[in-house]
């Protein structure tokens, strides 16, 4: 398919793309409507005047880097992380994998999604007229600039269909919200039509190959439904709409389990998918279009699943798996589930493979006994079988270090998705599965929930096993997590098999450990906690590189040192570790 697209481009054929002019605008109802066409969405986080002013001046923060728009359009091709210029040639000929000369492609894609324009439009919705006019001028200038600086099929922004999909959604919402300040003579309308036409048809052609991950397929489906229903006057609108509905109804629901969890094993990607379902349902309901019940059920299940994982302090999700920085439209727009106060006790999601233990002192543990990810490539899975996340009050005590990068430096990609970067056990320095490049796994592990129990007195026990080392090393890992009121946790790791092995238990800490007699006092926790570990030699590492350890990523593309408690044992198997975390009275 890429060869055919390249040939068409070389011959000057525009069968997938048309450049629209000002004379075309009056034919399209979306462009001429006097009132908003799109439904309201659940936005949050109202800004201050300073944040609005930054966006009005053409700047945005991209994963910790400052991005600034320029009129000549080079900003769309300049890598925020390295300053290098990405090539402006046929998209399929541009190398983007680790080792490319320009940087992390995900960071370069972010400002070109144009989601900051949708956010600006929402922020100024109730501002005074002069501010709204400035916002409209900003949106017009950047949309026109993007279209002019990115000729069809040339450059990095056509590489991924999902990027085209998210850009299409963002521009539609930004323009719709600001339409009272965008007259019919505005240059934004022909630029919008040009973008919609090329993006939607490219998405349709590319998705026929079924090469994308489930959440990318969902983004494409929603974009096609937007394009087909909002621009019915376009020649391909019926095909976009039909294919979008097919993808939405037949292809995407399979990646959400019946218990509401995502089979990709990333809470961030599940929120991303949930928001996309919410957006398309809101649009179809506004248009009084029929929607299959299974789509509404998937949407409801995923929302309720995510509500169980949210922090009681700020509603955030722990960075388990990947996708924690992906947004369907903006980080300020999310569809959430119920907000009821969760009572102490045990909640288990058998299909997704998680157990949540809530204690009586505002503690919450998340025990991961789920699969690696979604077959056949397990693209966004982490080798984190039997890992544990622990929150006490508002403080994350045992943390998941995050993702850091997809296509950046290979050694960091390997570390953050590997077993040593999670709160579990590593055997002979190997991951629980085999990394096949930066976006795939082979020899995936099996997991098994062995036992769970909850007593009337409030004691909770969950035991699970994984077999990631069974075939290669003959070793099986069994972990039990036990909570006993008021605030005592015990984690028991049992390694079975034969032979001599190097076994390493890592605890990645969200607070600083202070050595005391018999263990470590965890500084900054309220109530104060004591951590003890038996079964090996304990060392603390922070921001080391040989070997890599003691790192976390709170923001994609950036990392910072944390303290990791590493417990090591070399000798014959079977072997056990015993970890205790308890409130200091």
How does residue 8 score in pLDDT terms, banded at 50, 70 and 90?
low
Q: Which residues contact 3 (CB under 8 A, 6 or more apart)?
A: none
Instruction: Quick: pLDDT tens for 102-129.
Output: 999 999 999 999 999 999 999 998 899 9
Closest CA to 71 of 132, 22, 19, 137: 137
Residue 252 has pLDDT above 90, yes or no: no
What pLDDT shows up at residue 223? 98
CA distance 231 to 336: 29
* 172 contacts 226 by C-beta, under 8 angstroms: yes
CA distance 219 to 54: 28
Mean pLDDT of 6-11: 52
Mean pLDDT of 388-394: 92
What pLDDT shows up at residue 324? 86
CA distance 463 to 152: 54
Residue 16 has pLDDT above 80, yes or no: no
Instruction: Quick: pLDDT tens for 400-412.
Output: 999 999 888 889 9
Mean pLDDT of 282-287: 97
How does residue 12 score in pLDDT terms, banded at 50, 70 and 90?
very low
Closest CA to 429 of 549, 320, 575: 549
What pLDDT shows up at residue 13? 46
DSSP characters over 481-522: EEEETTTEEEEEEEEE-SSEEEEEEEEEESS-EEEETTEEEE
Share of the chain above pLDDT 90, in %: 82
Instruction: Quick: pLDDT tens for 154-183.
Output: 999 999 999 999 999 999 999 999 999 999
What pLDDT shows up at residue 341? 77
Tokens standing for 358? 């809530």
Share of the chain above pLDDT 70, in %: 97
Report whether CATH 3.20.20.140 matches the domain 345-583.
Answer: no
Mean pLDDT of 199-222: 88
The dihedral formed by the CA atoms of 103, 104, 107 and 113, expressed in degrees to the nearest 10: 100
Instruction: Quick: pLDDT tens for 433-474.
Output: 999 998 899 999 999 999 999 999 999 999 999 999 999 999
What pLDDT shows up at residue 86? 97
Instruction: Quick: pLDDT tens for 253-262.
Output: 888 999 999 9
Q: Tell me which of 542 and 212 has the higher pLDDT.
A: 542
Neighbouring-strand partners of residue 367: 355, 388
* 317 contacts 309 by C-beta, under 8 angstroms: yes
Mean pLDDT of 350-368: 94
CA distance 448 to 575: 20
Task: Supply the pTM of this predicted model.
Answer: 0.95
Mean residue pLDDT across the chain: 93
What pLDDT shows up at residue 289? 94
How does residue 209 score in pLDDT terms, banded at 50, 70 and 90?
low
Sign of CA dihedral 57, 60, 65, 68: negative
Tokens standing for 43? 């936005």
Residue 77 has pLDDT above 50, yes or no: yes
What pLDDT shows up at residue 7? 52
How does residue 207 score in pLDDT terms, banded at 50, 70 and 90?
confident
What pLDDT shows up at residue 47? 79
Which whole-number Å values give the CA distances from 460 to 357, 396, 483, in the listed order?
7, 20, 5
What pLDDT shows up at residue 253? 85
What pLDDT shows up at residue 43? 94
Q: Which residues contact 383 (CB under 8 A, 6 or more apart)?
A: 372, 417, 418, 419, 422, 431, 432, 433, 435, 441, 445, 468
> Helical H runs in 159-213?
161-177, 188-207
Mean pLDDT of 43-48: 83
What pLDDT shows up at residue 3? 55
Instruction: Quick: pLDDT tens for 85-94.
Output: 999 999 999 9
SS3 424: coil
Residue 354 has pLDDT above 90, yes or no: yes
Instruction: Quick: pLDDT tens for 516-568.
Output: 988 999 988 878 899 999 999 999 999 999 889 999 999 999 999 999 999 99
Closest CA to 264 of 382, 161, 368: 382
CA angle 497, 501, 506 (to 5 degrees): 100
Instruction: Quick: pLDDT tens for 25-42.
Output: 999 999 999 999 999 999
């Amino acid at each position: 398919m890429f060869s055919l697209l390249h040939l068409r481009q070389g011959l000057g054929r525009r069968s997938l793309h048309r450049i629209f002019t000002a004379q075309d605008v009056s034919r399209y109802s979306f462009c001429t409507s006097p009132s908003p066409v799109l439904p309201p969405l659940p936005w949050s986080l109202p800004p201050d005047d300073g944040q609005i002013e930054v966006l009005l001046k053409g700047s945005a923060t991209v994963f910790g880097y400052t991005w600034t728009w320029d009129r000549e359009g080079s900003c769309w091709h300049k890598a925020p992380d390295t300053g290098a210029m990405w090539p402006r040639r046929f998209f399929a000929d541009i190398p983007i994998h680790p080792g490319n000369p320009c940087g992390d492609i995900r960071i370069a894609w972010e400002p070109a999604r144009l989601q900051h324009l949708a956010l600006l439009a929402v922020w100024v919705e109730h501002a005074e007229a002069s501010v709204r006019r400035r916002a409209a001028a900003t949106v017009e200038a950047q949309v026109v600039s993007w279209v002019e600086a990115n000729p069809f099929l040339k450059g990095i922004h056509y590489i991924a269909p999902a990027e085209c999909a998210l850009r299409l959604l963002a521009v539609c919402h930004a323009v719709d919200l600001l339409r009272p300040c965008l007259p019919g003579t505005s240059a934004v309308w022909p630029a919008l039509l040009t973008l919609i036409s090329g993006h939607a048809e490219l998405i349709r052609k590319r998705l026929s190959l079924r090469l994308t991950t489930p959440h990318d397929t969902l983004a494409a489906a929603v974009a096609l439904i937007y394009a087909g229903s909002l621009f019915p006057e376009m020649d391909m609108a019926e095909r976009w709409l039909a294919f979008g509905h097919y993808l939405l109804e037949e292809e995407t629901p399979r990646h959400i389990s019946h218990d509401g969890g995502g089979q990709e094993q990333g809470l961030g990607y599940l929120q991303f998918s949930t928001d996309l379902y919410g957006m398309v349902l809101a649009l179809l309901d506004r248009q009084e279009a029929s929607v299959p019940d299974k789509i509404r059920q998937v949407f409801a299940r995923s929302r309720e699943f995510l509500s169980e994982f949210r922090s009681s302090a700020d509603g955030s999700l722990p960075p388990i798996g990947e996708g924690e920085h992906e947004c369907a439209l903006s980080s300020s727009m999310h569809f959430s589930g119920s907000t009821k106060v969760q009572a102490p006790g045990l909640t288990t999601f058998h299909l997704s493979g998680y157990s949540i233990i809530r204690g009586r002192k505002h503690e919450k543990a998340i025990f991961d006994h789920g699969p690696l990810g979604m077959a056949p490539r397990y693209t966004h899975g982490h080798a984190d079988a039997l890992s544990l996340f622990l929150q006490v009050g508002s403080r994350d005590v045992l943390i998941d270090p995050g993702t850091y990068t997809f296509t950046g430096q290979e050694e960091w990609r390997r570390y953050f998705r590997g077993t040593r970067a999670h709160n579990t056990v590593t055997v002979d320095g190997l991951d629980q599965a085999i990394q096949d490049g930066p976006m795939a796994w082979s020899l995936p592990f099996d997991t098994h929930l062995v036992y769970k129990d909850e007593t009337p007195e409030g004691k909770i026990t969950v035991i699970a096993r994984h077999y990631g080392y069974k075939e290669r090393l003959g070793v099986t890992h069994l972990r039990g997590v036990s909570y006993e009121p008021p605030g005592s946790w015990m984690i028991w790791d049992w390694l079975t098999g034969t032979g001599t092995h190097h076994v390493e238990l890592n605890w990645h800490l969200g607070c600083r450990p202070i050595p005391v007699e018999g263990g470590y006092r965890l500084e900054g926790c309220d109530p104060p906690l004591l951590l003890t570990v038996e079964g090996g030699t304990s060392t603390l590492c922070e921001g080391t590189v040989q070997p890599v350890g003691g790192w976390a990523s709170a923001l994609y593309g950036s990392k910072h040192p944390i303290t990791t408690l590493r417990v090591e044992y070399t000798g014959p198997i079977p072997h056990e570790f015993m970890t205790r975390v308890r409130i200091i009275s």
